[in-house]
Amino acid sequence: MKNIKVLGPGCRNCEMTAKVIAHAAEEAGVEIELQKVTDITEIMGYGVMSTPGVVVDGQVVHSGGVPGPDLVRQWVGDPD
Protein backbone atom coordinates (compact mmCIF):
# COMPACT_ATOMS: atom_id res chain seq x y z
CA MET A 1 0.00 0.00 0.00
CA LYS A 2 1.29 3.44 -0.93
CA ASN A 3 1.39 6.22 1.63
CA ILE A 4 0.45 9.55 0.05
CA LYS A 5 0.44 12.87 1.86
CA VAL A 6 -1.10 16.11 0.62
CA LEU A 7 0.77 19.02 2.16
CA GLY A 8 -1.00 22.35 2.57
CA PRO A 9 -3.09 24.58 4.80
CA GLY A 10 -6.39 23.01 3.75
CA CYS A 11 -7.07 25.41 0.90
CA ARG A 12 -9.32 24.64 -2.06
CA ASN A 13 -6.40 23.39 -4.19
CA CYS A 14 -5.27 21.09 -1.38
CA GLU A 15 -8.75 19.61 -1.08
CA MET A 16 -8.99 19.17 -4.85
CA THR A 17 -5.58 17.47 -4.92
CA ALA A 18 -6.69 14.98 -2.24
CA LYS A 19 -9.89 14.24 -4.18
CA VAL A 20 -8.02 13.69 -7.47
CA ILE A 21 -5.63 11.27 -5.74
CA ALA A 22 -8.42 9.35 -4.00
CA HIS A 23 -10.39 9.11 -7.26
CA ALA A 24 -7.37 7.89 -9.25
CA ALA A 25 -6.62 5.22 -6.65
CA GLU A 26 -10.23 4.06 -6.65
CA GLU A 27 -10.30 3.87 -10.45
CA ALA A 28 -7.06 1.87 -10.49
CA GLY A 29 -8.27 -0.42 -7.73
CA VAL A 30 -5.21 0.44 -5.66
CA GLU A 31 -5.28 0.78 -1.89
CA ILE A 32 -3.58 3.89 -0.57
CA GLU A 33 -3.20 5.60 2.76
CA LEU A 34 -4.03 9.25 2.12
CA GLN A 35 -3.09 11.85 4.73
CA LYS A 36 -3.58 15.60 4.78
CA VAL A 37 -0.74 17.46 6.47
CA THR A 38 -1.56 21.02 7.54
CA ASP A 39 1.24 21.64 10.06
CA ILE A 40 3.52 24.26 8.50
CA THR A 41 6.61 22.95 10.31
CA GLU A 42 6.06 19.45 8.94
CA ILE A 43 5.37 20.84 5.45
CA MET A 44 8.59 22.88 5.51
CA GLY A 45 10.43 19.78 6.74
CA TYR A 46 9.77 18.31 3.29
CA GLY A 47 11.21 21.45 1.67
CA VAL A 48 7.88 22.36 0.11
CA MET A 49 7.47 26.12 -0.26
CA SER A 50 4.49 26.14 -2.61
CA THR A 51 1.35 24.18 -1.78
CA PRO A 52 -0.25 21.85 -2.37
CA GLY A 53 2.64 19.47 -2.13
CA VAL A 54 2.41 15.72 -2.61
CA VAL A 55 4.62 13.13 -0.92
CA VAL A 56 4.52 9.50 -2.08
CA ASP A 57 6.19 6.96 0.19
CA GLY A 58 8.34 9.66 1.79
CA GLN A 59 9.44 11.37 -1.45
CA VAL A 60 8.17 14.78 -2.61
CA VAL A 61 6.77 14.29 -6.12
CA HIS A 62 4.88 17.56 -6.65
CA SER A 63 4.38 21.06 -5.32
CA GLY A 64 2.49 24.17 -6.34
CA GLY A 65 -0.91 23.62 -7.92
CA VAL A 66 -3.36 20.81 -8.51
CA PRO A 67 -1.66 17.93 -10.34
CA GLY A 68 -3.19 16.57 -13.53
CA PRO A 69 -4.92 13.19 -13.62
CA ASP A 70 -2.20 11.54 -15.75
CA LEU A 71 0.48 12.50 -13.24
CA VAL A 72 -1.62 11.26 -10.32
CA ARG A 73 -2.19 7.91 -12.08
CA GLN A 74 1.60 7.50 -12.28
CA TRP A 75 1.92 8.00 -8.51
CA VAL A 76 -0.89 5.64 -7.68
CA GLY A 77 0.46 3.03 -10.05
CA ASP A 78 -1.13 -0.12 -11.29
CA PRO A 79 -1.66 -3.00 -8.85
CA ASP A 80 -0.17 -5.54 -11.30
Give the pTM: 0.93
CATH number at residue 71: 3.40.30.10
The number of distinct structural domains making up the chain is 1
17: containing domain? 2-76
- DSSP H/E element including 67: none
- Helix, strand, coil % over all residues of the chain, rounded to 5: 40, 25, 35
For residues 20 and 77, what is the distance between their CA atoms, to the nearest angstrom?
14
* pLDDT one digit per residue (tens) for the chain, 80 residues: 999 999 999 999 999 999 999 999 999 999 999 999 999 999 999 999 999 999 999 999 999 999 998 999 999 985 54
Phi then psi for residue 59, to 5 deg, are -115, 130
Q: Can 70 be counted among the known catalytic residues?
A: no
For residues 31 and 51, what is the distance between their CA atoms, to the nearest angstrom?
24
Catalytic residue among 14, 18, 56, 72: 14
Q: Can 14 be counted among the known catalytic residues?
A: yes
Catalytic residue among 11, 40, 44, 49: 11
